[in-house]
A and B are shown apart, each in its own frame.
Chain A
Amino acid sequence: MSTFSLQIQISTGDCLNVDVSDTWTIRKLKTEINKQVKEDTTSAPDPNRSDDHDGAAVWPNLRLVLSGRELHDEFTIQECNLRQHSIIHAIITVKNDKGIEKPSRKSYTSLESSISDHRPHFYVFCKMCADVRLGKLRVCCQQCQAATFIVEQDPTCWDDVLRPMRIHGTCQSDGCHGNTAEFYFKCASHKTSLMERAAVLYLIKTNTQHVSCITCTDTSDPVLIFPCQQSHAICIPCFTSYSSTKLNERQFIQTPQYGYTIGCVAGCENSFIQEIHHFRLMGQQQYEKYHRFATEECLLQSGDVLCPNAGCGEGLSIPDMQIRKIHCKTCKFLFCRHCLLEYHSGECYQQLENPSGGATAGDLIDPVQAERARWEREARETIRKTTKPCPKCKVPVERNSGCMHMACPRPNCNFEWCWICQKEWNLNCTADHWFG
């Protein structure tokens, strides 16, 4: 048996805290609420209140709602999955015609346990905690956003919860005729305000199957399950390293459907992560970098250029491909569209084969070196000396071992070229200088 505090949000706008024990029935909770209200309000007559005499309930028709379900009198607090800091919505109403099912003594299934029998189940990224936390599923009226909403049927799959307009019900707020449920998540590890929401990380699951991480082979909990056919599991520290490594090497892929993302660590097909909040696991700094890279990749794909000046990187949209002289409006740097160096007169010999694929200087090579290059001219010089630009997209590429057959490391380019000829790889390269 455990005791904790519940927050009761009353439809009159009042709010009270009730200390409860998990063996209490909902009926007892209602009595307790009535008792507290009575103590609190000795004056100020309430229109919803029944005749006030000793021993009678203040609100005999008090109804309690949590996550789209009405809590019926016979159930215990434990059965209803109530925990510390849970917010229960109390409706005081005299009307009884808003489509509420009559209390029935079938076992209470909360929304959460109807998706899986194992609890805790949901994981969210809580901005306040700046970390992955256990989350709780909540529901409100899509129209008026009030939590006093009772669902007609439980969600049975993630799509029911994540996609709008799939689950219907009845809003219990006065004057609202909303009939569509809106699901959202909250952090379960601390007290939250009514409006506070957290991004659900639906690929993270409680490791009920005791599967080992595909990368480090440790069995830990929770795990992230890739959306591939084989449902490969990876532990959170390995996922963090994986995504950070891929991000730093610019190995994320710009996809038309899901944006800038990566797939399963085992290289499975159709395994792209669709909810980008999962990349928050990399930490704030890396997540910001993720957004920066994603924006850059998006700009490059639409034919825009990025200012090559150290520390700038401003996205510049100059749709006329004939214009070679580009003036950055942010840092005032004047550069050549083709070679991305300071603007020069005369012919540019770095003419792009595919003018839409301009690229930023640095970053694809050693990230440390590239980071320094944003500030140091000397390091930029090193990069210039140790790399050759991809003949198609111009991104500097370093050849650290192996043969002369190069493949552009930018996933969205992948152009195959010869390190010596600096042209597309061909049979002559194989025959004459495969090996230098």
Chain B
Amino acid sequence: MSNIAAARIQREFKEVVKCDEAAKCAIKVEMVDSDCMELRGEIAGPPDTPYEGGNFILEIKIPETYPFNPPKVRFVTKIWHPNISSKTGAICLDILKDQWAAAMTLRTVLLSLQALLAAAEPDDPQDAVVAKQYKEDPQAFEDTARHWAQVYAQAPCNNPGCSAKVNQLVDMGFTETASREALSMHSWDVEKAVEYLMS
């Protein structure tokens, strides 16, 4: 890793550790390896969103050419969001692509991602299925996002209906993950989900 990249990351790491948001447990960052090439980020689900109370883990890979090129960031925690792939955790956010500038830091990236959770941009979606649901059936979207946050991000449980439906499909012999995905994609319509799983 180049000296500039390593020096920058070490400084930015300290910046995140010392910042106000870290004190409030809203963002967090940890070193994964000693040479700063890979970090583990954590953001708290913003209040008044379906993600509230959840903790979302991020994989952050620093390129050799940092900070002239953006870090590669991906959600490790599975999440239901129009701009984040429900399968791989890939993120659609302009500052992580062509709008990146060397003046941005780990802290601004984490805060931007948190802001993305609070305000999705369904017209520039990473996950077309989620985006469609977000626009056409906001209630189903919110239920699904909340359920995923509860299952994968340890958010408090307050919608037992979804879990019951997942269990129903599991009892039919489908895996839990596949059942959850099928139900989520079909706005918790059990019949459609089964049809999808059988096809």
- A→B interface (CB under 8 Å): 214-218, 232, 237-238, 241-242, 245-246, 249, 265-267, 401-403, 407, 430-432, 434-435
Contact = CB atoms under 8 A, between A and B. Distances in A.
B90 A214 contact: no
13 contacts: A215-B102, A216-B7, A237-B4, A242-B68, A245-B69, A266-B103, A267-B100, A401-B72, A401-B74, A403-B85, A403-B92, A403-B126, A435-B88
B4 A435 contact: no
B68 A265 contact: yes
Nearest to B61: A401
Dominant secondary structure at the A interface: loop
B54 interface: no
A401 B126 CA distance: 12
A6 B46 CA distance: 70
A431 B8 contact: no
A402 B126 CA distance: 9
B135 interface: no
Contacts of A238: 4
Contacts of A218: 7
B68 A245 contact: yes
Contacts of A237: 4
A242 B102 contact: yes
B64 to A, nearest CB: 9
B2 A241 contact: yes
Given A403-B126, A435-B127, A435-B128, A265 B4 contact: no
Contacts of B4: 215-216, 237-238, 241
Interface of B: 2, 4, 7-8, 11, 65, 67-69, 72, 74, 85, 87-88, 90, 92, 97-103, 125-128
Dominant secondary structure at the B interface: loop
Nearest to A400: B72
A217 B67 CA distance: 12
Scoring B67, B125, B126 by chain A CB atoms within 10 A of each residue's CB, the highest score goes to B67
A241 B68 contact: yes
Contacts of A241: 2, 4, 65, 68
Nearest to B5: A241
Contacts of B128: 430-432, 434-435
Given A238-B4, A403-B92, A407-B98, A435 B85 contact: yes
B98 A215 contact: no
B155 to A, nearest CB: 25
Scoring B92, B127, B128 by chain A CB atoms within 10 A of each residue's CB, the highest score goes to B128
Contacts of B99: 267
B101 A265 contact: yes
A214 B103 CA distance: 6
B75 to A, nearest CB: 13
A214 B69 CA distance: 14
Q: Which A-B residue pairs are the 3 nearest by beta carbons?
A: A267-B101, A266-B103, A265-B102
Contact of B102 (A214, A401, A403, A435): A214
A217 B103 CA distance: 10
Contacts of A232: 103
Contacts of B88: 435
Contacts of B72: 401
B8 A216 contact: yes
Given A265-B102, A266-B101, A402-B92, 9 more contacts: A215-B8, A215-B68, A215-B103, A241-B65, A265-B101, A266-B102, A267-B101, A403-B92, A435-B88
A430 B65 contact: no
B90 A401 contact: yes
A238 B102 CA distance: 10
Nearest to A242: B68
A431 B8 CA distance: 39
Contacts of A249: 65, 69
Contacts of B126: 403, 434-435
Contacts of A407: 97-98
A434 B98 contact: no
A380 B111 CA distance: 41
A244 to B, nearest CB: 9
A237 B85 CA distance: 38
B68 A246 contact: yes
Contacts of A403: 85, 90, 92, 126
A128 to B, nearest CB: 28
Contacts of A215: 4, 8, 67-68, 102-103
Contacts of B103: 214-215, 232, 265-267
